[in-house]
Structure 1
């Protein structure tokens, strides 16, 4: 199996869309929490010009991973972005590709002056990147342990988290 030394990150290109959709659908298909719309979500964000950052991981020229970042609202604070979906081809999961995509994306957002990043996901996974759950945030009017934030700058986030409308289907 190849190591991370063989993995290259680059911005999504227009001819990557179908490969990203298939990769995402296949990566999420076996997951109990998936509703099967993750590939369509990326397409909807792309159509709405709401992909702030869309990065692919390639290995020997083949796309093996993808991460998307899009604008999000966190209370009344500007400059927040949502992480997700993120997908890695099944045979390459567990080899650090997802972590590399996340770390690169977060660094890019921070360099560009973002205030922070929010996501809905497994706290056991995302805590390694510094994401935390806070009772000061709600999503659809309720607290959720799956809503997590990583603040880069500015005040602590308080209030309702709102993802791009594409997340609502």
Structure 2
């Protein structure tokens, strides 16, 4: 969460995801939602939240972070098309489904389908 002048300026959530067929060794999280107060958009608040979140994920041993989002935006943080790693999602998305491995070899265990927590799926309905 980003706080400015005692007001919340932005928020990002990283939540556990599940990677089926990749083996028990892979521990991904999904990033979403991210929101920035309109008055502080385009000032780097969202970028700062994502970068800090990725650092924290790396510190606690997360293997990879996935996102369903704008490739033009998320590629700035090193996210790549997940299908290049053999990953799919429960949603009909290819170009917008992206992944960022947090260390070398994190996704070398094979192909898989990434699913989100039930609460994330329910929020989108």
Range class of TM-score, shorter chain: 0.7 to 0.9
Can you list the C-alpha shifts for 1:31-83, whole angstroms capped at 9, x where unaligned?
A: xxxxxxxxxxxxxxxxxxxxxxxxx1000111110010100113334321111
Query: Residues 141 and 67 of structure 1: is their aligned pair in 2 closer, same or farther, counting only changes over 3 Å?
Result: closer
Q: Return 5+ residue gaps in structure 2 as ranges.
A: none
Secondary structure of residue in 2 paired with 1:144: coil
Instruction: Answer 1 or 2: which has greater helix percent.
Output: 1
Q: Structure 1: how far apart are the matches of 2:93 and 2:33? A: 21
Normalization by structure 1: what TM-score? 0.63
Q: Structure 2: how far apart are the matches of 1:143 and 1:84? A: 15
Normalization by structure 2: what TM-score? 0.83
- Equivalent positions of 1:9-158 (< 5 A) are 56-75=1-20, 76-77=22-23, 78-135=26-83, 136-140=86-90, 142=92, 144-153=94-103, 154-156=106-108, 158=111
Q: Which protein has the larger Cα radius of gyration, Structure 1 or Structure 2? A: 1
What's 1:161 paired with? 114
Secondary structure of residue in 2 paired with 1:162: strand
Corresponding residue pairs, total: 114
Secondary structure of residue in 1 paired with 2:12: strand
Instruction: Answer 1 or 2: which has greater strand percent.
Output: 2
Q: Structure 2: how far apart are the matches of 1:96 and 1:152? A: 22
Instruction: Output the aligned Cα RMSD.
Output: 1.6
1:142 to partner: Cα distance: 4.9
